[in-house]
């Protein structure tokens, strides 16, 4: 019985897994996602008919060009490459999946950062034909570095195109050992490695008879179970509730309504909780938690609710409600890791807009401390004081207003921000607070 049918027997639901495929150009990322969609019955008949008739089909005979299921732009199909991040959705009886197909070209690294910023897991694809000698390509190193910086906890290394090297176990082990050394240098504590062929379907959804030396699960079975033990054992994160909007009506009456609407970024919010409004530091107690049309006794991360406090205090858009016992850090000076996204290089003499949660303020980069050398996998001094597009560096910055923040590794929702060029309104950089 195949892996998809097996999952019907458990009756469990492991929730939603957001994942991204990454790696170098032509490693087979789009083909792998297409194969996952096809073998898990996530493709409609009219979609298959459309790609079968596509003029850019690159598979001989009656075979299906699975890459066309994700490469939707005309330029992508014409060139046979991925340019922008494409999102696809499918599900099995055990889990729902949101898959981001990221481009492999270095010039589109910023697109990969965008897709990886919300991912729970990353599938790093490696072309077995190009890494058969154990030497990894620069984009494999770059995307692994970004996955580590973004705090993606689950790394799956898919050694693809094993059919083109005759399912040679020695090739697989050389690449596995090379990635293990890369993971050690990047401080990636745990990762999974498996051999597969995205085009042929071996070890994607069903186990392959051509890899008797591999005793692990196929890719889909691995993804269905990924992170469940951690989720069950992980302690609750501290409450972070960025205020989006102050709801006020009935101001002429004695019992007028004032509530604070937003989305719980982390933790649990309940009536009776003592909270602190940050950055002001004023404390209050939660009187009610309201959903769209009713009162609730608990709101968890991802829930959009309106909070009513037991007394009138000054709360504005951009403020963060935290539990008084576990507040965020408040300050105006921070150290952060920046991935520069703009074609115009970082200029420390300029001011940028900083978007953190629901707050928008101005910021100035004081120093560029170090820059990451992707080839040597280490931080090096930045003599120029600037960062070009797709470069990664550690900086210190100051903001006009105080912010309530956490380390990105502890709470991504309040540990991440973006920089916006004031003149062009382009997103200049993605930042992670350290």
Q: Check whether 297 has a pLDDT greater than 90.
A: yes
Task: Give the model's pLDDT for residue 2.
Answer: 41
Provide the percentage of residues in the chain whose pLDDT is more than 90.
Answer: 43
Sequence-distant (6+) residues with CB within 8 A of 357 are 242, 265, 318, 320, 413, 414
Q: Check whether 43 has a pLDDT greater than 50.
A: yes
How many Cα atoms occupy the beta-carbon half-sphere of 406 within 13 Å?
21
**Cα 204 vs. chain centroid, distance in angstroms?**
22
Sorted by where each starts, the structural domains of the chain and their CATH numbers stand as 16-232 (3.40.50.300), 240-323 (2.40.30.10), 329-433 (2.40.30.10)
What is the distance between the alpha carbons of residues 112 and 125, in angstroms, rounded to a whole number?
Answer: 14
Q: Can you read off the two tokens belonging to residue 45?
A: 């008949």
Average pLDDT of the segment spanning 17-24: 86
Average pLDDT of the segment spanning 227-236: 54
Question: Do the bridges between strand 86-91 and strand 96-101 make them parallel or antiparallel, or are there none, so unpaired?
Answer: antiparallel
Q: Are 279 and 403 within 8 A, CB to CB? A: yes
Tens digits of per-residue pLDDT, 350-368? 889 999 999 999 999 998 9
Task: Give the model's pLDDT for residue 234.
Answer: 46
Tens digits of per-residue pLDDT, 398-415? 999 999 999 988 888 899
Bigger pLDDT: 282 vs 43:
282
Q: Can you read off the two tokens belonging to residue 122?
A: 């990353």
List of long-range contacts for 39-45, beta carbons under 8 Å, 24+ apart: 39/4, 39/201, 39/204, 39/205, 39/206, 39/220, 40/4, 40/90, 40/91, 40/92, 40/205, 40/220, 41/4, 42/88, 42/89, 42/90, 42/91, 43/69
Task: Give the model's pLDDT for residue 107.
Answer: 62
Average pLDDT of the segment spanning 388-397: 89
Per-residue CA distances from 122 to 159, 196, 308 (Å): 14, 16, 39
Confidence class of residue 63 from pLDDT cuts 50, 70 and 90? low
* Count of Cβ atoms closer than 10 Å to residue 398 Cβ: 14
Q: Are 114 and 390 within 8 A, CB to CB? A: no
Provide the percentage of residues in the chain whose pLDDT is more than 70.
Answer: 80
Average pLDDT of the segment spanning 183-198: 91
Task: Give the model's pLDDT for residue 153.
Answer: 84
> Shortest CA distance to 356 belongs to which of 395, 326, 317?
317
Strand ranges in 274-433 using DSSP code E only, listed in sequence order: 274-278, 282-290, 295-296, 299-300, 304-309, 320-323, 329-340, 351-356, 359-373, 378-381, 392-405, 416-421, 427-433
Tens digits of per-residue pLDDT, 237-267? 889 999 999 988 765 565 678 899 999 998 9
On average, the pLDDT of the chain sits at: 82
Q: Check whether 119 has a pLDDT greater than 50.
A: yes
| DSSP-assigned states of every residue in 246-284 | EEEE-TTSTT-EEEEEEE--BSEE-TT-EEEEETTTEEE
Q: Check whether 94 has a pLDDT greater than 90.
A: no
Q: Check whether 125 has a pLDDT greater than 50.
A: yes
Q: Can you read off the two tokens belonging to residue 186?
A: 């990047």
Sequence-distant (6+) residues with CB within 8 A of 182 are 136, 140, 141, 144, 188, 377
Average pLDDT of the segment spanning 140-167: 90
Task: Give the model's pLDDT for residue 328.
Answer: 94
Phi, psi (degrees; rounded to nearest 5) at 176:
-60, -45
Q: Check whether 50 has a pLDDT greater than 60.
A: no
Q: Check whether 276 has a pLDDT greater than 80.
A: yes
Q: Check whether 216 has a pLDDT greater than 90.
A: yes
Q: Check whether 149 has a pLDDT greater than 80.
A: yes
Q: Check whether 85 has a pLDDT greater than 70.
A: no
Bigger pLDDT: 63 vs 332:
332
Sequence-distant (6+) residues with CB within 8 A of 425 are none
């Amino acid at each position: 019985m195949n892996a998809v049918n097996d999952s019907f027997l458990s009756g469990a639901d492991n929730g939603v897994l957001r994942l991204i495929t990454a790696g170098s150009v032509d490693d087979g990322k789009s083909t792998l996602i297409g194969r996952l969609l096809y073998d898990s019955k996530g493709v409609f008949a009219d979609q298959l008919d459309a790609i079968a008739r596509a003029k850019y089909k690159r598979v001989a005979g009656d075979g299906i060009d699975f890459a066309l299921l994700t490469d939707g732009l005309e330029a992508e199909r014409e060139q046979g490459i991925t340019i922008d991040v494409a999102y696809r959705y499918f599900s099995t009886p055990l889990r729902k999946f949101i898959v981001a197909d990221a481009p492999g070209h270095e010039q589109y690294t910023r697109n990969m950062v965008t897709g990886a910023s919300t991912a729970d897991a990353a599938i790093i694809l490696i072309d077995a034909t190009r890494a058969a000698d154990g030497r990894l390509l620069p984009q494999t190193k770059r995307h692994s570095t970004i996955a580590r910086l973004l705090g993606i906890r689950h790394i799956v290394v898919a050694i693809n195109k094993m059919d083109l090297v005759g399912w040679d176990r020695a090739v697989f082990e050389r690449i596995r050992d090379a990635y293990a050394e890369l993971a050690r240098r990047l401080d990636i504590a745990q990762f999974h490695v498996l051999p597969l062929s995205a085009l042929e379907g071996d070890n994607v959804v069903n186990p392959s008879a051509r890899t008797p030396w591999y005793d692990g699960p196929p890719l889909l079975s691995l993804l269905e179970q990924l992170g469940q033990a951690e989720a069950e054992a992980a302690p609750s994160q501290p409450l972070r509730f960025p205020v989006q909007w102050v709801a006020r009506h009935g101001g002429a009456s004695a019992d007028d309504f004032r509530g604070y609407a937003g989305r719980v970024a982390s933790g649990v919010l309940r009536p009776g909780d003592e909270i602190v409004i940050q950055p002001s530091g004023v404390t209050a107690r939660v009187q009610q938690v309201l959903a769209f049309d009713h009162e609730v006794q608990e709101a968890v991360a991802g829930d959009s609710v309106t909070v009513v406090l037991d007394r009138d205090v000054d709360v504005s858009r951009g403020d963060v409600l935290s539990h008084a016992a576990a507040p965020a850090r408040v300050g105006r000076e921070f150290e952060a890791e920046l991935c520069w996204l703009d074609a115009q290089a970082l200029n420390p003499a300029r001011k940028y807009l900083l978007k953190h949660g629901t707050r928008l303020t101005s910021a100035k980069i004081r120093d560029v401390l170090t820059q990451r050398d992707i080839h040597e996998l280490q931080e090096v001094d930045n003599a120029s004081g600037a960062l070009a597009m797709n470069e990664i560096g550690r900086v210190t910055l100051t903001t006009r207003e105080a912010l309530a923040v956490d380390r990105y590794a502890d709470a991504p929702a309040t540990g991440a921000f973006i920089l916006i060029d004031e003149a062009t309104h382009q997103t200049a950089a993605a930042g992670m607070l350290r």
